[in-house]
Homo-oligomer: A and B are copies of this chain.
Amino acid sequence: MTKILIVDDEPDILEFLQYNLEKEGFEVETAIDGEEGLIKAHSKVPDIVVLDIMMPRMDGFEVCKVMRKDPKFDNTIITFLTAKDEDFSQIAALDLGGDDFITKPVSPRVFTSRIKALLRRHRGNESNVQDQIINIADLVIDKEKVLVKRKGEKIELAKKEFELFCLLVEKPGKVYTREEIFRKVWGTDVIVGNRTIDVHIRKLREKVGPIYIKTIKGIGYKFEF
């Protein structure tokens, strides 16, 4: 089983990431600061370490530096986590031996898929470029460019709209309940104003075209073509 260690000083973030990764079948350890992180990493060598950069006592860069000197962690993937406005150069992070760089806030979907992509990439085969572009019906969905094209025509979607659309598109035909959608896109069970999803669905239908998203009354929504 894949072991993941998350180090972040915000308990909320820890709980949020732990919950979502465990749901995907990963074994998750958490630490509240760099020092605790190092101790836990030593006691049970993780496959992936997710390091927040800004932390009291010992920041993420420090933890990374220490780990990268220890051959014990040669096969451990390190990824950084940081708030968008903290202006740390990704280059610096990667120079220190980090493998990836994830900016907060991040939805559970994106986070787990980044983790999975890292695992795939690191374990050799399979280019991660392949699954960044989805070709379905007369649509092209480019996850990297956050762009949908319909018959060659560009359609600009907002972030939430795009993620919601991707969720539906990735399993055509599957019916997603509102609860599922909230969990996967919003990353919370707390049900926000209960017309929120409807409004996003409406915008998607307006922008992408009305034919792709179908309502299954009493259950939820699905993508179909």
Contact = CB atoms under 8 A, between A and B. Distances in A.
A174 interface: yes
A117 B127 CA distance: 12
Given A113-B125, A117-B126, A125-B113, A216 B146 contact: yes
Interface in A172-189: 173-175
A223 to B, nearest CB: 11
A123 B171 contact: yes
Given A113-B125, A218-B158, A147 B173 contact: yes
A26 to B, nearest CB: 12
A152 interface: no
Contacts of A126: 117
Interface in A101-159: 113, 117, 123-127, 142, 144-147, 158-159
A159 B124 contact: no
